[in-house]
Structure 1
Amino acid sequence: MGDSDEWRRWFVPGVVPLTVLDIAAERGLSPATLLARANVTVPPSELFEAGLTLGQQADLVEVVAEALGDPRLGFEIGWRLPPTALGSVGYAILSSATVTEALELLQRFWHLVGRATSITLDTAGETGSVTLDVRVPMDAEGTALIKEITLVSMVRGVRGLAPGAEEALEVWFDFPEPPQGAWVRERLGRVRWDMPACQLRFPTALLDTKLPMSNPVGLRAAVAWCEREERLRGMADGRVTARVQSDLQPGPEGYPSLDQMARRLGMAPRTLRRHLGKEGTRYSDLLEAARRRDALRLLDNRALTAQEVAEMLGYRDAANFTRAFRRWTGQTPSQYRAATAEGDDPG
């Protein structure tokens, strides 16, 4: 197995495959048989403690999807993975004081529960977002399934944290609307497909919502457990990506360079590069994601021209910004604005 297949060895918490198998068992399928078809030798009784590798999980989901033939599987899995299913990370989220703190903790410890993907939190402006990117090589069907599971899980989590927030949430998928689109809208509300990014979008006024189960002592304990889990799994440097994502904001001179970011974090550039490499990413990838994140947010502000947005992102030439935006989203800035203007009523 080459370096390109390293992702297949990444750890997946046992609650995820058990959730998939529970859905299959409810529909009359044998978990043991499905595991055997996926060449997984871990018995169902040991899955919770042992977990699976990401490669095993991908194979198991493929087997279950083929056996069920249900295009709604991804949404069903995601709905069954609220914060209570996320172990110490979920406990930290539930113990947080506000939605802001919960989302920041989710980004900080995301690598413990969703390593196949990366998330970028943006809370500037009137509309905030969590942008989702898939980090592993999958075909279009597998990539869409991962995005469905993850975003639906986030929606379930935010609804649980802030009851009544469902009216304010909007979900974006960057692939065509599937046959079950109407069914999904009935359950999630405002959902849009064929968008330039996969995002959970929300009014930033929601961020100050006080959480009903906030517990400072419980939060400190949960964070300590998350950090212990990082060490046990050899991921003690897992917070570096989240810290870089948080600090990658444009200033008067544009975004910080790798050397500037390393100084902010108190490490040598080579050390920062090595930490990011261990987490499966590069500074250039994070910078590209930050530019896309900020481009989408700034273009949502209709008072700004595309030229002004380009300059705020460090592009001296608006044409270069347009080319970059098309590479990120498949659209020009003007096409993006036209599409989002049409989407005020996602139904």
Structure 2
Amino acid sequence: MKDQGGSIERVLRKVDLPYAILEQRELIVPLREQFRLLERAARETGDPYFGARLGQAVKSEDLSAFGAWVCKAGTLGDAMKRAHVGLNAMLQTSTVLTVSLNGSRVRWSIEFIEPETEGRHHNEFLALGYAMDIVRVYAGRRWTPDVVRTALPSGSPRAPLEDIFGANISHGHAVPAIEFSASLLGNTIFSGVLAPAEVTESCEPPVPRQSDVLSTTAAVIELALHEGYPRIDWVAAKLGTTPRSLQRRLSQHGTSFADLVDELLLRHAKRLLRGSTVPVTDIAIQLGYSDPAHFTRAFRRWTGESPSAYRHAASGG
């Protein structure tokens, strides 16, 4: 984005998202927030095709653990099946992938059921870029689809997108898609393509399902932690609801926002105390506590001992 004269920091401030999402790919960002982020980035750069251009810059090793897991499948057809298994999740909330065969051609479509419209076409272009990159792992980096179908109005200019995608563009469709030869489905990883980053999981990396209220809320609380102590109004806004409604939904599942925050902070606190020599004061600040004494009292309430005592016991002292 800097190459196009934009400021990443300014965009993130405008959409109220932490810079950490650029450095920690495992962080989960709700789809509606992705829409807003891409729309703001497009305005910042003055590029009406920002999502499409970004999609062509994506490589499989940049797609997080999930993307790497998808691209470790034995064939392209299996990789597409993996993508279908995992993409209807928080990172791409309400995403529907569909494969249809028409003789010797495949149409791989990507539909977002999320009702938000601002920034939608940028995210659709980005998603098409993800799909194309998966195919390129098995067909070679120079591969391009036969046709890219978009949801832009049928009279929209085609030439700019044809230059970006390197393929024929067809506008006016209900669902974006790429079309290519069905003969590629049996392809194994192309010899000239670098293998995706190693994935420690032996199966699909865990990503919370849209219907899992506790996991999706916890995922956004994790995101909020990078902005300081998690606030319910921030988390509710990112989930597209109100604090009152969020508390009610959590109550129906036998918990509360405060309980979820405590669980997250305790998990992070234990990890930091066990796995580092970072001073307790610094850990408290990292977890969003302005006063380290508040963190010590909270940790004692959670575990019955002080952070220092826990670290000493964990180290075998």
* Structure 2 CA distance for aligned equivalents of residues 198 and 180 of structure 1: 16
TM-score, length of structure 2 as denominator length = 0.55
Does the CA contact (< 8 Å) of 1:122 and 1:128 recur in 2? yes
- Post-superposition offset of 1:237: 11
Task: Report Cα offsets for 1:94-134 as digits up to 9, x if no partner.
Answer: 22211111111111111345325211123464222212211
Higher helix share: 1
Residues 125/220 of structure 1: CA separation in 2 closer, same or farther (3 Å cut):
farther
2:151 is matched with 174
Count matched residues: 210
1:158 is matched with 135
- Post-superposition offset of 1:69: 1.7
TM-score, length of structure 1 as denominator length = 0.50
Q: Which among 117, 122, 130 is matched to residue 100 of structure 2?
A: 122
Gaps of 5+ in 1: 1-22, 239-347
Q: What pairs with 1:1-347 in structure 2 (closer than 5 Å)?
A: 23=1, 25-41=2-18, 48=25, 50-112=27-89, 113-123=91-101, 125-139=103-117, 142-163=119-140, 166=143, 169-176=146-153, 181-188=158-165, 189-195=167-173, 197-212=175-190, 224=202, 226-230=204-208
- When the two chains are superposed, the root-mean-square deviation of aligned CA atoms in Å is 3.8
Residues 104/223 of structure 1: CA separation in 2 closer, same or farther (3 Å cut):
farther
Residues 54/205 of structure 1: CA separation in 2 closer, same or farther (3 Å cut):
closer
Residues 88/178 of structure 1: CA separation in 2 closer, same or farther (3 Å cut):
farther
* Structure 2 CA distance for aligned equivalents of residues 136 and 221 of structure 1: 29
* Structure 1 CA distance for aligned equivalents of residues 77 and 84 of structure 2: 11
> Identity over aligned residues, as a percent?
17
Does the CA contact (< 8 Å) of 2:66 and 2:205 recur in 1? no
Gaps of 5+ in 2: 217-317
Residues 187/64 of structure 1: CA separation in 2 closer, same or farther (3 Å cut):
closer
* Structure 1 CA distance for aligned equivalents of residues 114 and 162 of structure 2: 28
Residues 223/44 of structure 1: CA separation in 2 closer, same or farther (3 Å cut):
closer
Does the CA contact (< 8 Å) of 1:122 and 1:130 recur in 2? yes
Who wins on radius of gyration, i.e. which is larger? 2
- Post-superposition offset of 1:165: 7.4
Residues 98/148 of structure 1: CA separation in 2 closer, same or farther (3 Å cut):
same
* Structure 1 CA distance for aligned equivalents of residues 212 and 125 of structure 2: 28
Residues 174/212 of structure 1: CA separation in 2 closer, same or farther (3 Å cut):
same
- Partner amino acid, structure 2, of 1:171: V
Does the CA contact (< 8 Å) of 1:95 and 1:219 recur in 2? no
1:118 is paired with a residue whose SS is strand
